[in-house]
Structure 1
Amino acid sequence: MIGVGKIKQYANVLDKPLSKGKQEVSLSAFAFLFSELVQYNQTQVDNIAELERRLEDAGYAVGARVLELLCHRDKGNRRETRLLGILSFVHSTVWKVLFGKVADSLEKGTEHEDEYMISEKELLVNKFISIPKDMGTFNCGAFVAGIVRGVLDSAGFPAVVTAHFVPMEGQQRPRTTILIKFAEEKSDVLHVLIDAKYSPVNTSFNPVTFFLQPGIAKRSKFPICIGMSNSMDTHSESEESDISDTEIDDYIEVQYEQLKSNKYVVKKPNGTFRCPFCLGKKKQEYGYRDILQHATGVGAASSIKKSGKKRGQHLALAKFLKEDVATEASSVKSIPKEIVVANKQVPKQEDELCVWPWKGIVTNVYNKLRHEKDVDESAYWLGKFSQYKPVDVHLMWDKERRKGSVILGFGEDMAGFTSLMEFEKIFAANRHGKHDWDRRKRDPGSQMYGWRAQADDYNSQGTIGDYLREKTELSTSSNINAKKKLGTIEKRENIIMAIDITNEELLEKQCQLDEKGFSLRQIHEDNDKLHKAHNKEMETLQRIARDHVYRVMENASRMKAEVDRKREKIDAWSRKVSEQAALTIWERRKFEDEKKRKNESLQLASENQISASKEVAILLQQQQREKREALDKFIQLRREMDEKHKLQRDLEELTGQIKMQEVVDTMRGPNEEEMQKMKAMEEELKERLEALDDSGSMNQVLFVKERQINEELQAARKEMIAGFDGHAGGRVTRPTAIGVKKMGEIDSKAFQIAYKKKYPGNEEMVEAVMHCTKWQQNIQDSGWHPFKVVEKNGKPEGVLDEDDEKLKELKEELGGEVYDIVVTALKELNEYNPSGRYPVRELWNFRKDCNRRATLKEAITYVAAKRKQK
């Protein structure tokens, strides 16, 4: 009967979900396929540039599909639309999907603003490709460059991507750098983002801080250092291992020599200076004093805040500035980027005295105004004058607290100065400025008057003057600008230092976070494995428990059925015993009679055995007698055969004489005497022929009789051998026993004993068995006949050829005892079965004084004696 099973439906690859889990490809398979790709393209091109272009085109298609796949797998089906975001996406997500790890580093080029570099120490595609010497510039990283270009182009960031080898100090293999050069429009967009995000006040743009802003790189898990100096490798190496204070002097000398060799760029073409060792100084321009102050300050910082290498680098920079750049820097002025303020808002006269920090004065203020409350609190006045953005308020009342003045503080910066000027303009426009107050001081009315605090207010007598002299100072606009500039520089330096420290801490925290994330993922994976192993173990235990319960229930049912069956059997026996209780005595008597009868039968059997033994002896005697008679008949037959042969010779002579006589008679003619003589000879010949016929008949009868007797003897001998084999397996007790011996078989026990004497040790017994088996096969080989024929007493006789190569080799290798055992088996096989060349069974007398072939009489006597003993 044909059954219809459920057919498994195989989904098309296009129907499978895009959110499928991680898939890995065998590394050996990838290496083989990629090498085939390189070899195929090599046969299609004429130069290395064309080969790299073809590899880049192959990678371009991969990159476009990778971006599409990853965007589909994103929960919101999103892709990056920002430049730094897409760079982080390539550096981390794409690299991890393709190569199982994040790229080693992402850097910004130092020569061009629109260049970025992704570096990898051991790029996978360069591991398994052997490049000949004539193609030394060939780089298989062009395939990866094509992937990156495909991702960027598909994401809307067109770029030129190339792969380059960069030598590394102390490393035999160079690292691979993927150079990315964006189109000009994308570079302009990046600068617009930077300018929009940061105020012109702080021109020291920190690219790391910018990158970590929430709106700039949402996808980034790894901080990317952009805008680093030419010493990127030095920074990355310094982060890996630090130096002690005892080693810092040597390190300073090393860095100083590198600065002298122009490995690091310190002085710019416009005459300003830059620090090549700080992450946040790419956009900062220093004067000579500023850069020297920065290098000295960082070098003198405590080792807790700064690493040993960072301090050593800045101390080396300070030494370089003092010894090598001091003569050139004397004429260079610092060109810091400052706040751009409209000249119309700064006081025009350089020698005009101003109250600083900026203060505004409001007078003719009444404590109880109509429809106003809480005028005695600062919050009220901050709210009332909020349009001018004051930062603090100070109230001053007269003794009756009925009338007073308000001092508004506007801070120290230009923004506060602008608000103060607007405050003064509005009050002056409403004819309630300082000149109006001076004119109406005696009758000011109920309106408030306000103006900017100036030198006359500062020098005035009263509470306002006292307060201004206590909280402010008089200074010219140039001094104010210089103080502000110095404060700005100091703040900027402090902010830059804080940013540097924060960036380093962020990098350290990010590394720790990555390590903890990796450890957490490992823990989750181990936890999942443990859960799976636990579930699998629980399933196994549950299955074993179910099987055990099933077996227990099955055994219980079987045992219950067995108990019921035995109970029924016992009940039947009980009933039977009850029924036969009355017949117990009769059964006992019957048993005794049966026992007696069996004993009598045993006695009769014993007597029958004795009589059988007697009959066997009689049979043996009769057989011996018949054999003797047969032997006598044989002797008589031989005698008669001799007489027959003699008679045949006489007949032949007589026949010859008769023929001769007939010839003579034919020649001479008939003679009466001779005729009678011939008749007498014919009659004698006839009588001898009749006698010869009678003796031939008798001989034939005797031959037949002898053959029958021999066949019976051979059959009896075979039966005796079979009986011995069935009784004791041919194993008998020596030397008084008769049993069966295999003629032509090597005695393995004797062989092992002899071998052990030659080579003592239990480990040699296996080789002894192997040698015994080997020589048993040799003597049974019909192609090997180590015998020769010699004449002995005038008769040919076969004897062993002692010069045979195999026998000589056996004697030399294993010794004389083993040689004698093999020769004995060989002679037995040649004597008892020379044609078949395989061992045959024979009755054997194992007694020491005999050790020969046993006769049938000896075997029968031995068997009869054994029966009598039983």
Structure 2
Amino acid sequence: MNNKLSDFEKSLYKKLKSGKLEVKVSYRTFLCPYCPDNKKKVGLYVDILQHASGVGNSKSKKRSLTEKASHRALAKYLIKDLAHYATSTISKRLKARTSLTPAEGGDTPLVYDDDQFEKLVWPWKGVLVNIPTTITQDGRSCTGESGPQLRDELIRRGFNPIRVRTVWDRFGHSGTGIVEFNRDWNGLHDALVFKKAYEADGHGKKDWLCGATDSRLYAWLANADDYYRANYLGENLRKTGDLKSISRFAEEEARKDQKLLQRLNVMVETKQYRLKKLEIKYSQDSIRLKYETEEKEKILHGYNEDLTGRQQKSTDHFNRIFADHEKQKVQLESQIKKLEIRELELAKREAENETQRKIVAKELEQNAAIFSYAQLAAMEQQKTREKVQRLAVDHKMQKEKLHKRIAALERQLDQKQELELEVEQLKRQLSVMRLVELDSGSEIVNKVETFLRDLSETEGELAHLNKFNQDLVVQERKSNDELQEARRALISNLREMRSHIGVRRMGELDTKPFMEAMRKKYCQEDLEDWAVEVIQLWEEYLKDPDWHPFKRIKLETAETVVVFLLLYITNPNRLCFYFLS
């Protein structure tokens, strides 16, 4: 696309350079030959150059490729071939005007615009006079239209000012204004159009100087006369501008364009130098790339051959593996069929074994129940034997004590009999002594009294021993009767023992009330672990003797809970039984 545009631009540039198309109308006026006749663009050099550059560089899709290429060629032609007309044409006309004599000129003088050879105020400015003013109520000053109002009025009339400043003197609004235009060629063109419009309307500078006959505005371009005028208007012009002729302005613009062109040429040369370096580098890189491409092709060719050989080997290996897999698949299918038949047989046997397993499990449960019952009965019998043995040992010890006591009583009985014999002897002696009392005297009487006292004491002791002996005999018989009665009761209880023995686990909490309470309160699914933790915490609390969980509260719900806990504690583990069948 860009190559086609560049080629078309070159061909059109050659056509313009040959002079087949009209571009330069006069020494200062140019036109665009590519615009339609009804929209033919005519203007100054700068206007046509801006128009051609704008259309040529436009990115709008409405502009065709031909239109862009033709305007690019026009811009190139203006820059390269007609740039000197922007400056040299005016200077040549000035020289021609000064060199001509009246004889050479004849009766027909050279036609030119006087304003092109006089000095104007730059930046381009126009002068507005006869602005309506009014005196204030106090009569000390004058007022009139402001600068923005005047600028809007000029814009409505088709002019293009950038600003309007009113001139004020010591009495206020002086009725004069300064119209400012752009600094470039467009501003000069707008200023000239502004001047010619008022001159054509009979409201130019000459008309104002000849005497104004109406109240309308008069306007002209500010020149040297206005610049050096000794009034407020001249003072404002001197503060904000300089005097400059159009030829000087054109030369300055040409110098600027020349500098720009030089900079562009330097940039072009730099880019061409870089382009040459890039071309050299490109050629070197192309040679190196060609060499590397050849090397790569050789390596790729060797790699492809190696890869082909490996692929062939892998294909052969895969075919062998596939054949082996097919053989193994056939073998596995035959084995699967055998296993299916075997599975059916095992299923039948499993059904039979399941029935037998249930029977065996039932028998095992019965045997376990019988074994547990027998074990518990053996434990109870062992405990009973141990208890009977302890009772027998106690009974034996008591019998030994009783035998010892009986032996002692027998010895005492012998002593009693001896004492009785001695008493009889003493009685006989006493009777004898009574007979001889009269003969013996007082000493014998004293001896008799002493013997009588000893005899009474001995008889009392003998009676006490007889009573103690009778008590021991009664106690022995009573203990023997109790032992025999306990033996008979134990034997009868062992014979009438129940088939189920319940083991009570004292001191362990029941988990069921905790689970129900937490399920009512929290309504969650994973409450078992939480309930176990709470139960363990309660068990730890119950181990502490200083823990008092009960409080006296007036609420009925709390009192109900306290009663429930008290009942639970008074009857702990009422459901914690493990029945062994």
Greater fraction helix: 2
Larger radius of gyration: 2
Q: TM-score, normalised by structure 2?
A: 0.31
Higher relative contact order, chain-length normalized (CA < 8 Å, sep 6+)? 2
